Amino acid sequence: MKISVRDAGEAKIVEVEGDVDLGTSPDLRRTLFDALHRSPKLALNLGAIRYIDSSGIATLIEVLKDSQRLGKEFVLFGLSPAVQHVFRLTHVIRIFQVFNTEQEALGTVA
């Protein structure tokens, strides 16, 4: 799994590539929490994820709940088919703000 973080105005964009599973989700969790605490807006690009398990979905839920607690925004965009599939299976997509593109995601947090 590869993770990168970049700035887009006040927001931080996190890009993830590869497999998110029990072994790699702790790294994703650390990166997301760190980015969330450094910015009022966090957008996560899930377009290059080939595989994600329940530990990855649980990580996203944890970050979402922390963002709500802190009064910040956490949005998802560009969901790959693999991510969409697991979101459907777990019935949790409705709790997230999900967008097709980065521009749309940032538009909601501007």
Partner 1 sequence: MPPGAAELKFILPSDSRFLPVVRGAIGPLAEVVGWDESECTEIKLALDEALANVIRHAYHNRLDGRIELICRASAEGLEFTLLDNGDAPDKSKICAREIGCDKPGGLGSHIIKDVMDTVCYEVSATGNRFVATKLLRRTI
Q: Could you list the residues that contact partner 1 (CB under 8 A)?
A: 19, 21-23, 51, 53-55, 57-59, 61-62, 64-65, 82, 85-86, 89-92, 94-95
Q: Which is nearer to partner 1, 8 or 61 (CB)?
A: 61
Q: Which is nearer to partner 1, 31 or 59 (CB)?
A: 59
Q: How far apart are CA 110 and CA 29, in angstroms?
A: 24
CB of 31 to partner 1, least distance (A): 17
Q: Which is nearer to partner 1, 8 or 48 (CB)?
A: 48
Q: What is the largest CA-CA distance in the chain?
A: 34
Q: How far apart are CA 51 and CA 76, in angstroms?
A: 16
CA atoms within 13 A on the CB side of 61: 13
3-class state of residue 104 by DSSP: helix
Percentages of the chain per state (helix, strand, coil), in multiples of 5: 45, 35, 20
CB of 84 to partner 1, least distance (A): 11
Q: Which is nearer to partner 1, 90 or 100 (CB)?
A: 90
CB of 78 to partner 1, least distance (A): 19
